[in-house]
Structure 1
Amino acid sequence: MLITVSLLLVTTALSVVMLLVLTSLAGSKVAGIQDWGMANGIAVIALLLFAARGVVPDLISIEVANALLLLTASLMYAGFRRYLDLPIAWRLLAAGSLAAFAGVVVFHYVHDSLALRVVAMSAYHAAICFGIYASLPTVADGRLRYPNAFTRTTAFLLGLGHAGRGAFYALDAYAPAALLDPILANLIFFAIGTLALPALSLGAVMLANARVLTDTAYAAEHDYLTGAPSRRAFHDIAERELARARRHGSGLGLLLVDADHFKRINDTHGHGVGDEVLRDIVRRIQGVVRKVDYYARLGGEEFGVLLPDASFETARSVAERLRAALDRPAQGKPGAAYTVSIGLAMLEKGEDFAGLMGRADAALYAAKAGGRNRVECAPRATPDIRPRSGGAKVIRLRP
């Protein structure tokens, strides 16, 4: 009996640790954490009541303890469903837990059978584990891949364990005289029942932590107002695409897009309308650029569009389509009409990204000076020198 009580106390300690870890993540606002935390808090009480079997009345160590354990399982399932933004079948959970609890009561007071009480509890816990397994996606991306695989596998194995435990006792292959008897079969199945919550809680903590890291990385790489990639992310992508363009000798174009008279929009219609204009620009950029292109909000009302594997003609065509798409009122704000000016530059041999950006910026200023609502192409940084028939040379700057 000492072994099983020790196992209960160790599991209780693990639940306390998981509760503390989940509490530390509560400020992250990850969905499901509150349910998982409540489940571990209730589990601590339930496990201590189980450990007190023979010391406290059976009503407390059997009915109350099992009722709390059923609530714990339901909250764990609800937490995973909430985390995945899936509906929670509360009525089904209530019906299943009430049926299991009714089995505990019947097989205690009507027909006293520990084996059948274990069957009733195991059936519900197996259903919960398989439900968690079915809820989690088969494949997750990025940081969520390993935590998702771990939790999904753990839930499935625990579901099999609970199902096997229930089947074992249902067949009356072994009917323990007491739940805490230190017999090998009883210890194995007892461990499955008590360690299930810490194992699932570990998966929940891993998923919550991965979500926090993913959300933090997204916030660092995206503009909070428009959802467009940030200047930092844009520069990282640009350096990668510039290196690739050098390796393969492919074209790389850069568009700098700036809303015309944006201050006037804010002053006339208010900053709320100005914010909507910025979001509208992002939506329309998304509808015009190619799938291989990258865009970002560089700051204020200026946006960048990177055009990998593009010739000058392709880049010019994209720029003109984009200018035309942005030459109309913002959606839902007919009074806030706006246009944009665009500067276009193509990467040249030996040029770094700062040089490309500088030429595109100069082209943008030329577009502003030329009347706005237009596309200006930056001249080549290096002159094109061609010999004349008489041996003299002429220098031409080509777009």
Structure 2
Amino acid sequence: MPGMRRHPLVLLDYSGIVSQTRPHFLPSAMLSLVSLILETMALSVVMLFVLSSVTCEENSGTREWFRANILAVAALLGYAGRGMLPDVLSIEAANLLFMAAISMMLAGFRRYEGKTFPTKLLAGGMAVVMAVILVFHYGVDLPGVRVITVSIFHGGVCFAIGMTVRRMIPASQPHYPFLFTVVAAFALAFGYAVRAVHYMLLPNLAVPLFASTVWNTVYFSLGTLAFPGLTLGAVMMTNARSLAKAAYAADHDHLTGACSRRAFFQLAEREHMRKLRTGGDLSVLLFDADHFKAINDSFGHAVGDQVLAEIVKCTQKVIRNIDVCARLGGEEFAVLLPGADAGTAISVAERLRAALEGAVLATSANASVTCTVSIGSATLQPQETLAALLVRADRALYAAKSAGRNRAMCAEDVRRIEVGT
């Protein structure tokens, strides 16, 4: 229209929308822009409902991501009101809210990682950006400079998000939620960088805002997907952590941290099948805490629980990383020893017995609480079933207890004794 100023194109935070006399009607290009902004806002609202359904745990980042989307919705309302709201709301306030929103997203990922949030650094960056926006809006009206400045800030925060999540990619549990978030964050950072460079190369730092160009389409499309994409990645990461915790809880004893009975038998069966298929040795230890009932009766169940936990800690120090310690129930424990022959198994059993014999496992009313163990060991024989192996280990354990406790016996010795008698 004659007499109207041409406006620069905008990406993601829509900060390049410049001051103008409010029109009495909205041209089709403006309606298209408002539609994209409202679509982004609608997606952010959807993400708010998704986040509200996610369990809020300590150090999960969920609260920060929820607040980030609230801030984003408020900012997008300001952008959508351009031409109808005062400039201070649709430019300054909207950009401040959007910078706070992306910063809050970073805070959520940092909390998820268990790290502190660089509040002073981000607050200082936001103050600098706001100063530039004010100078190049009310001083010298150069929307291109504003776009470049805001793009650098948002690009830097997105890059920080990508680097933060990249450090958290797990080696064992499903890592696709983390990879998705890393790719989304780095893609946004790259988009902001391209946008900043694009504006730097423009003559007079300005082009028509609503021109139907490929760049406009790309920028607006990326802007629409920014917050929903990062939030979706955050939700997937949270669900992955919840599933990992649930799996750990199912496979580990809550009191001692040792493997659960179910997990032990699953691992033992898997190792048993592998040994039958490829050959090699496999041994198992079964052991009980001696006179454990007397500890409970004398010192209480709290002390008894502490003794059980300390037994597991001591066991973990004695065995190898590839070995598996499990609590089968009560004061009964088991250790799976892949690749260990009979001599190695009884040697490990004796080291474990000696370590526990000399350890103070708990204290109560200034009294030291000690506990010995009786251990039975057995080594897999050709074509032997897992059940048969465990029966022989259990018989060796019973023989150790019958012989006076605080000792280790192997199934082979027990068999020789039985044959001799």
Secondary structure of 2:405's counterpart equals coil
Q: Distance in 2 between matches of 1:128 and 1:341?
A: 58
The correspondence of residues 161-180 of structure 1 with structure 2, limited to 5 A, is: 161-173=191-203, 175-178=206-209
Out of 329, 339, 344, which is 2:377 matched to? Answer: 344
Alpha-carbon distance, 1:312 to partner: 1.1
Q: Is the deviation greater in 135-144 or in 35-44?
A: 135-144
Out of 276, 281, 293, which is 1:251 matched to? Answer: 281
Q: Distance in 2 between matches of 1:46 and 1:26?
A: 26
2:345 is matched with 315
Secondary structure of 1:330's counterpart equals coil
1:268-300 deviations in whole A, cap 9, x for unaligned?
A: 122222122111111111111133321111111
1:325-375 deviations in whole A, cap 9, x for unaligned?
A: 110243553611110011112223333222222222222222222211011
1:195 aligns to 2:228 (yes or no): no
Q: Is the 8 A contact 1:289 1:318 kept in 2?
A: yes
1:365 is matched with 398
Q: Distance in 1 between matches of 2:131 and 2:85?
A: 21
Secondary structure of 1:86's counterpart equals coil
Alpha-carbon distance, 1:262 to partner: 1.0
Q: Is the deviation greater in 41-50 or in 236-245?
A: 41-50
The correspondence of residues 70-219 of structure 1 with structure 2, limited to 5 A, is: 70-137=99-166, 139-173=169-203, 175-178=206-209, 182-219=212-249
Out of 233, 236, 239, which is 2:263 matched to? Answer: 233
Change (3 A) 1:30 1:182: farther
Alpha-carbon distance, 1:184 to partner: 3.9
Q: Is the 8 A contact 1:40 1:72 kept in 2?
A: yes
1:325 aligns to 2:359 (yes or no): no
Amino acid at match of 1:373: N
Alpha-carbon distance, 1:177 to partner: 4.8
Number of residue-to-residue matches in the alignment = 386
Out of 35, 50, 58, which is 1:21 matched to? Answer: 50
Q: Percent identity?
A: 49
Secondary structure of 1:192's counterpart equals helix
Out of 46, 54, 62, which is 2:75 matched to? Answer: 46
Q: Is the deviation greater in 91-100 or in 248-257?
A: 248-257
Alpha-carbon distance, 1:195 to partner: 2.5
Q: Is the 8 A contact 1:363 1:377 kept in 2?
A: yes
Change (3 A) 1:87 1:27: closer
Amino acid at match of 2:193: A
Q: Distance in 2 between matches of 1:396 and 1:46?
A: 82
Alpha-carbon distance, 1:304 to partner: 0.5
Q: Is the 8 A contact 1:22 1:205 kept in 2?
A: yes
Q: Is the deviation greater in 40-49 or in 371-380?
A: 371-380
Alpha-carbon distance, 1:149 to partner: 1.7
Q: Is the 8 A contact 2:255 2:309 kept in 1?
A: yes
Alpha-carbon distance, 1:28 to partner: 4.7
Amino acid at match of 2:371: Y
2:61 is matched with 32
Q: Is the 8 A contact 2:59 2:114 kept in 1?
A: no
Q: Is the deviation greater in 248-257 or in 234-243?
A: 248-257
Q: Distance in 2 between matches of 1:277 and 1:21?
A: 43
Change (3 A) 1:163 1:105: same
Change (3 A) 1:372 1:380: closer
Alpha-carbon distance, 1:144 to partner: 4.2
2:11 is matched with none
Alpha-carbon distance, 1:156 to partner: 1.4
Q: Is the 8 A contact 2:253 2:259 kept in 1?
A: yes
Secondary structure of 2:287's counterpart equals strand
Q: Is the 8 A contact 2:181 2:230 kept in 1?
A: yes
Alpha-carbon distance, 1:216 to partner: 1.0
Alpha-carbon distance, 1:142 to partner: 2.6
Question: TM-score with structure 2 length normalisation?
Answer: 0.86
1:44-88 deviations in whole A, cap 9, x for unaligned?
A: 121122112112222111111111101101101111111111222
Q: Is the 8 A contact 1:158 1:196 kept in 2?
A: yes
1:67 is matched with 96
2:3 is matched with none
RMSD: 2.3
Q: Distance in 2 between matches of 1:92 and 1:252?
A: 56
Q: Is the 8 A contact 2:296 2:303 kept in 1?
A: yes
Out of 303, 314, 326, which is 1:273 matched to? Answer: 303
1:389 is matched with none
Alpha-carbon distance, 1:140 to partner: 2.8
Change (3 A) 1:106 1:63: same
